[in-house]
Amino acid sequence: MRNRRTPAPSCPAVLLRCAACVALFASATLVHAQETSLADAQALLSNHQYTQALALLEPAESAHAQDAQYHYLLGRAALGSGDAERARVALERGIELDPDSANAHLALGRAYHALGQHANAINQFEIAMHFENLPPDLLTQSQIYDDAAREALEEGRRTTMFGYAATGIGRYRVNSTRGTNAFGGGDRRETFYNLRVGGGLSHSLGNDTSLDGTIDYRHREYDAGSRDDRDLRWSFAASHGFNDSRFSGGLRGRVSYRGNGDYRNDVAGFVDYTHNLDVKSQLTAGLSVQRRRYPEGPLRDRSRTTTTGSVGWSHSFNDGGANFGITAHAGRNTATSRIDGDSDVFGATANLDWTFGDTLDAFIFVWWERDDFSADDVRFHPDERDVAATFSREDNLYEGGAGLVWAFAETWTLRPELLYIRDQSNVVALNYSSTEVWLNVRKDF
């Protein structure tokens, strides 16, 4: 019996197989070419050859419509070539495709900063890094973050730093209240001189994770010699960016000289969460446990532990040149030896900032907190100082402030500010009010 022969493939089948092989080879060649072009563009960006990188990338835009890395490189090239608007469009698309990219957030922040959209810029910068103890104005915050982002992206530094020094003169007034009048301190005025120096750093560990730290020293000297305030504040945190968000946790503290040999030490552990709802809106939440300790002296019984939770929302407007934010907080003071006992606290903060170009900024804020204490005690009646009554202490604390920032030269700003404080209490002696105005000049480096 003879073996059957397998029929030879027909000509159309052969042609189809050949076409498939050719198509597969062409596809692989195209993918390799595209990968090569991106690698070449990255090399050009590393050498600060932005115009050449842009010319290489632009023809391939339609082929890379879904490629986050391509849009990141295109945005970097456009920004380096001076086209911040083109960079904004490309980088927004890149983050839409890959919201986990810390470098893309830094680059988009730089594009917004170049466009004068300082509120939007800060929203992007703070997904990748966060500095505490910054001035309250958008203009300075955006500039500090932009310099740090430039060092990270354009100079390839894993550790970025900033520093500052400020000094000036001011006027302090203790306003007339029931409490200040009762102890002869009402309507008292003094001139003071202040000094502030500090800085911060951010160190990238890779994988969108960083270590961030700041230090801030403040000194205020009163010409009448009634006070000599010194304050050292510090923070250290680890943070991780993901899905258009940042989660951080660490420690922050403060060592304060309160005058007359009295010191106050604060140390807090905290966790913070930041999420960009969109380009213009940001949601924040935080939890902290703080120990405030007066080591010795008449204020020692004010030592306490405070547990506080907060949630906040901010929104930019005026094409990203202005920002409104509000934060609510609540918590409890415990482990205290005050005769007033423990206390529940809750309150809120609201702030508004408006930039006028790249040289002028105005801001205003209000802060309120309510403290309800748990222990009853015999005190002077809140309305009749000569009448005793038994009641628990209740405080309403208010602060309001406003300021201007004028960038009169590169890295130099002039800063007039106003601060009003009002403490209202049903305990007569604890009523207090003060007004402060000062003018500082600040140098950033």
| Residue that the structure tokens 């007033």 belong to | 340
Instruction: Specify the amino acid at residue 10.
Output: S
Are the beta carbons of 146 and 121 closer than 8 angstroms? yes
Note the pLDDT tens digit of each residue in 123-145.
Answer: 999 999 999 989 999 999 999 99
Is 198 in the same domain as 73? no
Note the pLDDT tens digit of each residue in 398-428.
Answer: 999 999 999 999 999 999 999 999 999 998 8
Determine the Cα–Cα distance for residues 96 and 107; give it in Å rounded to an integer.
14
Count Cβ atoms within 10 A of the Cβ of residue 28 and give its class: 0-12 exposed, 13-18 middle, 19 or more buried: exposed
Is 40 in the same domain as 186? no
Residue 365 lies in a domain: yes
Note the pLDDT tens digit of each residue in 362-398.
Answer: 999 999 999 999 998 877 766 666 677 888 999 999 9
Residue 138 lies in a domain: no
Note the pLDDT tens digit of each residue in 247-287.
Answer: 999 999 999 997 777 889 999 999 999 999 999 999 999 99
* Chain centroid offset of residue 52 CA: 35
Are the beta carbons of 116 and 358 closer than 8 angstroms? yes
Is 200 in the same domain as 257? yes
Is 118 in the same domain as 206? no
Are the beta carbons of 211 and 203 closer than 8 angstroms? yes
SS3 439: strand
Determine the Cα–Cα distance for residues 412 and 405; give it in Å rounded to an integer.
10
Note the pLDDT tens digit of each residue in 279-310.
Answer: 999 999 999 999 999 988 888 888 999 999 99
CATH code for position 325? 2.40.160.10
Is 79 in the same domain as 178? no
pLDDT at 33: 45
Q: What is the DSSP letter of 298?
A: T
What are the tokens at 146? 């932009």
Hey, what's the torsion of the CAs at 181, 185, 189, 192, to 10 degrees?
A: -150
Is 121 in the same domain as 158? no
Residue 310 lies in a domain: yes
Is 119 in the same domain as 167? no
The whole domain housing 219 covers 154-444
Confidence of residue 28 (pLDDT cuts 50, 70, 90): very low
Residue 146 lies in a domain: no
Residue 2 lies in a domain: no
For the chain, what is the mean pLDDT? Answer: 90
Residue 358 lies in a domain: yes
SS3 279: coil
Is 283 in the same domain as 416? yes
Are the beta carbons of 271 and 249 closer than 8 angstroms? yes
* Chain centroid offset of residue 155 CA: 23
Residue 8 lies in a domain: no
Q: What total number of domains does the chain contain? A: 2
| Residue that the structure tokens 């202490």 belong to | 393
Confidence of residue 10 (pLDDT cuts 50, 70, 90): low
Is 265 in the same domain as 373? yes
- DSSP string for residues in 338-375: -TT--EEEEEEEEEEEEEETTTEEEEEEEEEEEEEEEE
Identify any residues that bridge with 256 across adjacent strands, giving them in sequence order.
231, 264
